[in-house]
Amino acid sequence: MLGDMGKVGDVLAKRWWQWALVGAVVVFLLIQLVPYRVSNPPVVNEPTWDSPQTRALAVTACYDCHSNESKPLWFEKIAPISWWINNHVEEGRSALNFSEWGTSKQGEEAREAAETVREGEMPPSNYTWLGLHAAANLTAKQRQQLADGLRATIAQSK
Ligand code: HEC
């Protein structure tokens, strides 16, 4: 009898890592149910762009974090990465949201948009790490075009 108990103990001891694995998988599946991931509210109002080219550059380099037309990559929809990405997008939108232009939700900092591009502060460098969002890795010329375009767009929207 005691010997049997010992064997059960041995089996459990050997299998602990299997239970840990099952537990980890269950936790992973459960956290997918948390409704905290990037969603796109309706577009309220876009700026009057100075040119279609400025808009195209902004869509490429800024819209994932500064619009209601964010396009998360497939793995960015999976928790817990999705939590981090959503938090990031919420922060981005509250600073500048091209889809809620001229509304109270539009941050004061939006006026600095051209500056952030010119200084290479935006888009954030980690956005294009590992070859992701390669098109947002603007050339010097595109950077100049976008900065000029944003300046003109913001100037005419006042
Ligand atoms: C990967 C997400 C991401 C992208 C892409 C991105 N931004 Fe941002 N941006 C943020 C976040 C998050 C904040 C707020 C926190 C901060 O300042 O870092 C922000 C803040 C800003 C601000 C407020 C001022 C400041 O420096 O904090 C401006 C202006 C801005 N971004 C402009 C842009 C423009 C223009 C583009 C496109 C060229 C762009 N961003 C691309 C995430 C992003």
Burial class (CB in 10 A: 0-12, 13-18, 19+), 31: middle
pLDDT value, residue 15: 86
- The C-alpha atoms of residue 71 and residue 39 are separated, in whole angstroms, by 9
Q: Which atom of ligand 1 is nearest to the CA of 126?
A: 1
pLDDT value, residue 86: 98
Q: Which atom of ligand 1 is nearest to the CA of 107?
A: 23
pLDDT value, residue 151: 95
Residues 6+ apart with CB under 8 A from 88: 65
Please check whether residue 80 is in contact with residue 67, taking contact to mean a CB–CB distance below 8 angstroms.
no
Q: Which atom of ligand 1 is nearest to the CA of 57?
A: 38
Please check whether residue 54 is in contact with residue 139, taking contact to mean a CB–CB distance below 8 angstroms.
no
In the predicted model, residues of the chain with pLDDT beneath 50 are none
Cis (ω within 30 of 0) for the bond into 35?
no
pLDDT value, residue 115: 95
| pLDDT tens-place string over residues 80-111 | 999 999 999 999 999 999 999 988 777 788 88
Q: For residue 131, give Cα distances in angstroms to 10, 100, 125, 135, 140.
A: 48, 30, 11, 9, 18
Q: Which of 116, 130, 139 has most ligand 1 atoms within 8 Å of its beta carbon, as the pocket-test mutant?
A: 116
Residue nearest to atom 40 of ligand 1 (CA): 122
Pocket of ligand 1 (CB under 6 A): 61-62, 64-66, 88, 91-92, 95-96, 109-110, 112-113, 116-117, 121-124, 127, 146
Q: How far is the CA of 33 from the centre of ligand 1 (A)?
A: 29
Terminal C-alpha separation, the chain = 86
pLDDT value, residue 2: 63
